Every structure is written in structure tokens, then in C-alpha cells.
Amino acid sequence: MDTRERILQATARVYAQHGFRGATTRLIAIEAGVNEVSLFRTFGSKAALFEAMMQSHASSLPVPELPDIPGDAQSEITAWCAALLAHMRQWRSIIRKSFGELEERPEAAVVMCEGPNCAATALAAYVARLQAAGRADETADVATAVSMFISSMFGDAISRDVLPHAFPQPEEAAPAKYVNVFLRAVGAFGAGDVVPLRTADTADARRAAAQ
């Protein structure tokens, strides 16, 4: 690992613990195993160092992909959700710090939200493909459903350890639970135990059950 990358990783660890004000260049240099001269020679300033650290996070963000041709929507979105949750949990401390300093350093929070924002766009596009294939309700409020889904994952990733009662489902079961609710919201078909929400379909199901 080269010096630049070592400093960036050290910066992330120190920032996650102390925030921007507490993460002094001295602490970062010690964590990285370099002297402060090397730190400033590499990045120029503390502000530039932190900008580079945030950009490193954004560029390395492993936002999972959803298939161009949907297969089993439930299993595909569940795997996607689990991967996204794992990444956000990995960066949980840094995300918290960036939001705690939102008024002072709003750009940091924006960078931390870049991944979830990209994920929301990808998920909406996937649902559009389901709709085009006649496998989801064309009248569903997809934007609201996606927003609620991503917000639930974001809240889970950064809050579950401190607010366990707000997330009654076990951590390992959360992705499937979130996906079931989401697919109901967009009226998806053929997704395991997901129940479509189309009015006509629901009425037909009730009539069949009554017979």
C-alpha cells in the first residue's frame, strides 16, 4: 500500500472516532505511520486531505447492480439490498460524523449520501423495467416507494446498534423484510410471498377466497 492510500485509510479511521475538529493531522500521521511533513507534502492541507478521503469513499462505493432483464425480483433485490446495507454499515461511523457536522461541513454529508442516491436511481430504473414487462403496477408511486425503501435501509445501517427496538427484525432478516414491503408497494408479481396491491387483483383475490 502506498503512502497516499495509507494516509487516506488512517484519516477515515481517525475521523470516524473524532470527527473533523478532533482528527488532527498529528493523530492522522501517527495512525498512518508517517510524519506530518509527509502528510502535508502529499495533500497540502487538512481540508484537502479530508476532501480526498471523502472522494475516495465515493469513488470506491460498490453500489451493486441490478440486472438489465429482471428475473426473480424478490431474490435479485434482496441480494442487492443486503450488499448495500453491508457497505453502509461498514461506513456507519463516518456517516454519523458527517451528519453530526452537517451545518459546518455540508459537503461531507452530500458525499456520504452519494451511494444511497445512486442506489435509489438504480432501483427506480429496475422497477421501470418490471413495469415495462407487465410485472409491476404501472400506476404505483415508485418514487415514494423507493424513497421509503432507501431511507429504511439508511436508518437501519446507521442506527440499529443504538436504537435496536426501532428495528425488531433480526439484522440478517432485514433485507428480505424490506424487499417484501417494497414489492408490495409497487405491486410486483411473482415474488414469493409478496402480495400485489393492484385494486383489481386484490378484489379478484377476495372474491376467489370467498367462494
Q: What are phi and psi of 161, to 5 degrees?
A: -70, -25
Does pLDDT of 195 surpass 80?
no
Q: How many residues appear in the chain? A: 211
Q: Where are the beta strands (DSSP E) in the chain?
A: none
CATH C-level class of 3-59: mainly alpha
CB-based contact 70:129 (threshold 8 Å) = yes
| Residue that the C-alpha cell 497540502 belongs to | 44
Q: Domain segments of the chain: what residues?
A: 3-59, 73-210
Task: Say what percent of the chain tops pLDDT 70.
Answer: 80
Higher-confidence residue of 192 and 166: namely 166
For 40-94, how does the pLDDT look when each residue is reduced to its tens digit (9 = 90+)? 999 999 888 988 888 776 666 666 789 999 999 999 999 999 998 888 888 888 7
